[in-house]
Amino acid sequence: MDHRLTLTQHLLREVEEHTPGGGPVASILAQIATACKEIRAELAEVGLGTLAGMKGGVNVQGEAVHKLDWYANEVFKKHFAGSGLLCTLISEEMEDIFHLDEDCPRAEHVLCYDPMDGSSNLDVDGAVGTIFGIRRKALGAAHGQPEEVFEPGTEQVAAGYVLYGPQCMLVYGVGGNVHGFTLDTAVGEFFLSHPSIRMPEQGKEYSANLARLGAWDPAFREFVRRHSHGGESERTYSLRYIGALVADFHRMLLRGGVFLYPGDAKNPSGKLRLLYEAAPLAFLAEAAGGAASNGRERILDLVPDGLHVRTPLVIGSRYEVSAIEKLLAGDRRPELTTSKGASA
Is there binding between residue 244 and ligand P6P (CB under 6 A)? yes
Is there binding between residue 245 and ligand P6P (CB under 6 A)? yes
Q: How far is the CB of 108 from ligand P6P (least distance, A)?
A: 29
Instruction: Give the separation between CA 24 and CA 337, rounded to whole angstroms.
Output: 45
Is there binding between residue 14 and ligand P6P (CB under 6 A)? no
- DSSP alpha helix (H) spans, 166-297: 218-226, 245-255, 279-287
Instruction: Please select the residue that binds ligand P6P; options are 109, 271, 310, 318, rule is CB under 6 A.
Output: 271
Is there binding between residue 243 and ligand P6P (CB under 6 A)? yes
Q: How far is the CB of 41 from ligand P6P (least distance, A)?
A: 22
Residue type, 255: R
Q: Describe the chain by its helix, strand, coil percentages, rounded to 5.
A: 35, 25, 40
Using the contact rule CB under 6 A, the part of the chain among 33-41, 142-150, 187-195, 239-247 near ligand P6P is 239-247
Q: Is residue 145 packed enough to be buried (19+ CB in 10 Å), middle (13-18) or exposed (0-12)?
A: middle
Instruction: Please select the residue that binds ligand P6P; options are 167, 185, 209, 236, rule is CB under 6 A.
Output: 209
- CA nearest to 308, candidates 282, 273, 334, 281: 273
Q: How far is the CB of 6 from ligand P6P (least distance, A)?
A: 29
Q: How far is the CB of 191 from ligand P6P (least distance, A)?
A: 27
Q: Is residue 198 packed enough to be buried (19+ CB in 10 Å), middle (13-18) or exposed (0-12)?
A: middle
- CA nearest to 193, candidates 220, 218, 216, 163: 163
Instruction: Please select the residue that binds ligand P6P; options are 117, 205, 286, 325, rule is CB under 6 A.
Output: 117
The nearer residue to ligand P6P, 231 or 243, going by C-beta atoms, is: 243
Q: How far is the CB of 285 from ligand P6P (least distance, A)?
A: 15
DSSP 8-state code for residue 342: S
| Binding residue count for ligand P6P, defined by CB under 6 A | 9
Using the contact rule CB under 6 A, the part of the chain among 39-47, 76-84, 114-122, 156-164 near ligand P6P is 114-122
Per the CB < 8 A criterion, the answer to whether 136 and 112 are in contact is no
Q: Cis peptide leading into 115, omega within 30 of 0?
A: no
Cα distances from 27 to residues 16, 34, 151, 238, 241, in angstroms, run: 9, 11, 23, 40, 34
The nearer residue to ligand P6P, 23 or 243, going by C-beta atoms, is: 243
Q: How far is the CB of 30 from ligand P6P (least distance, A)?
A: 25
Residues that bind ligand P6P (CB under 6 A): 117-118, 120, 209, 243-245, 271-272
